[in-house]
A = this chain, B = another copy of it.
Amino acid sequence: MAVLRAVDDLLVEEGYAAMTMKGIAARAGVGKQTVYRWWTSKAEILLEAVMQDAREELVIEPEATTPRDFARFIEAVRLFLTESHAGIAYRALVGEAQHDQRVAELLRGSDALVVAARPVLQRAIARGDLSREVDLANAAADLLGPVFFGVFTGSAAAHPAPRPHTRRR
């Protein structure tokens, strides 16, 4: 769909602020009504446009050990959230969900970060570094939470790459 392509391009070239329905439609050379024919809201378009990119950008080359694997993945997530256009849109989307019930429901259960964490966690399980019975959603939250928190509260501005879990050195 040309609309999704337009969303991606707009995101890259003009930034999130320009991501208006009118802008998207114009960029796609399409009437607004046509956009609303396939998606019911702006959030829905964004979600679809962003998820594909997110999954591609969050695939990492496996490292030899679990700690390294985790660290690399976390750094990828940090970069995604702070540098990638898709990541910035993702943040806007999650942000919107905090005060818009409909967006929240849209996101529920299809979180890009959790999906991306799955293979990493499964590698850890295969290596025996993570209990086989662990709940993947909880493990993903443990792994992603700290970076996510840092980026969302803006407290991660300074230092480059925190470690997966507490206690350095």
By a CB distance below 8 angstroms, the chain B residues around A141 are: 145-147, 149-150, 155-156, 162
By a CB distance below 8 angstroms, the chain B residues around A113 are: 153
| A134: nearest chain-B partner, CB-CB | B167
Query: Once the chains are docked, how many angstroms separate the CA of A98 from the CA of B46?
Result: 15
Work out how many copies of this chain go into the complex.
2
Chain A contact-residue range equals 35 or more
Q: Are B99's CB and A92's CB within 8 A? A: yes
Interface core residue of A114, A148, A149, A154 (most chain B CB under 10 Å): A149
By a CB distance below 8 angstroms, the chain B residues around A138 are: 146, 159, 162, 166, 168
By a CB distance below 8 angstroms, the chain B residues around A60 are: none
Query: Once the chains are docked, how many angstroms separate the CA of A158 from the CA of B135?
Result: 13
Of the candidates B94, B133, B139, B148, which one forms a contact with A169 in the assembled complex, judged by CB atoms under 8 Å apart?
Answer: B133
Residues of A in contact with B (beta carbons under 8 Å apart): 16-17, 91-92, 94-99, 104-105, 107-109, 111, 113-114, 130-131, 133-135, 137-139, 141-142, 144-150, 152-157, 159, 162, 165-169
